[in-house]
Amino acid sequence: MKVLIADDEPLAVERLSRLVIQMGHEVVATAHHGQDVLSCIEQNLPDVVLLDIQMPGMNGLECAEQLRHLNPRPAIIFCTAYDQHALEAFKFQAQGYLLKPIAQQDLEQVFHHLTQLTQAQMTGLQQENMDDSKNQRHQIAAKTYRGVELIPLENVYYFLADQKYVTVRHKNGSVLIDETLKDLENEFADRFIRIHRNALVSLDYLEGLELVAAGQYQVRLRELDERLSVSRRHLPSLRECMHQL
């Protein structure tokens, strides 16, 4: 793939260039600020942009906003020393968010995913996301010790609130996200149902109800041994939903 590297730090550009070449890809251009990125894309038509966020003039997020209007547009992989921009970055359908210093294994993993899609397929998927009237995400971004982990929504069993964080239970384990259960419920109302003031469960994995005591129920989810409590308040709507499944 043809790669454009955008970073205002020469050492970072040099290191990323070395990693990209070692993976067998081509660095077609380098840029030092957002406006420079737009010019380089027009001249070199890269497949991928490795994009820093903190750059002089037009920063990486502002640049990504401009890239949304290109057709076809390159894949965006944010490479930054700061993790606080992750949720905002994925509004631009970024294919990766890596924290500096970039580990070669993490970069290889993102590029491996990109090679599974042709540029035409990627453009089609991105256009589909932009045309979604609800602007609903198809993956959850969670900060982990490796940087930012992307969890496909179809792999999520449930969301469980605990004080200021929400646990995402998915096929490969659990992660914490800094989002509210109410916002998740509003965004994913067609795919998740509230069963308790602190829990949303996926309709795709909802398997049944179990009576554990007088008037007390738990839900059973496919592929999980865990059980989640159902509040009396949400029991009627849950039963009605299960009858429709």
Q: Each residue of 5-59: pLDDT tens digit?
A: 999 999 999 999 999 999 999 999 999 988 889 889 988 989 899 999 888 888 8
User: Given this model, what pLDDT does residue 144 score?
Assistant: 65
The 10s digit of each residue's pLDDT in 66-118 is 887 776 778 899 998 877 766 666 677 778 888 888 988 989 888 887 765 44
Asked whether the predicted pLDDT for residue 218 surpasses 90, the reply is yes
- pTM of this structure: 0.52
Residue 162 pLDDT exceeds 80: yes
Q: How many angstroms separate the CA atoms of 169 and 167, rounded?
A: 6
The string of pLDDT tens digits covering residues 168-183 is: 999 988 988 888 999 9
Strand partners for 223: none
- For the structural domain made of 2-115, what CATH number should be given? 3.40.50.2300
List the domain boundaries for the chain: 2-115, 155-243
Reply yes or no on domain 155-243 having CATH 2.40.50.1020. yes
Q: Both tokens of residue 188? A: 């994913």
What DSSP assignment string belongs to 114-151?
A: HTTS-HHHHHHHHHHHHH-TT---SEEEEEETTEEEEE
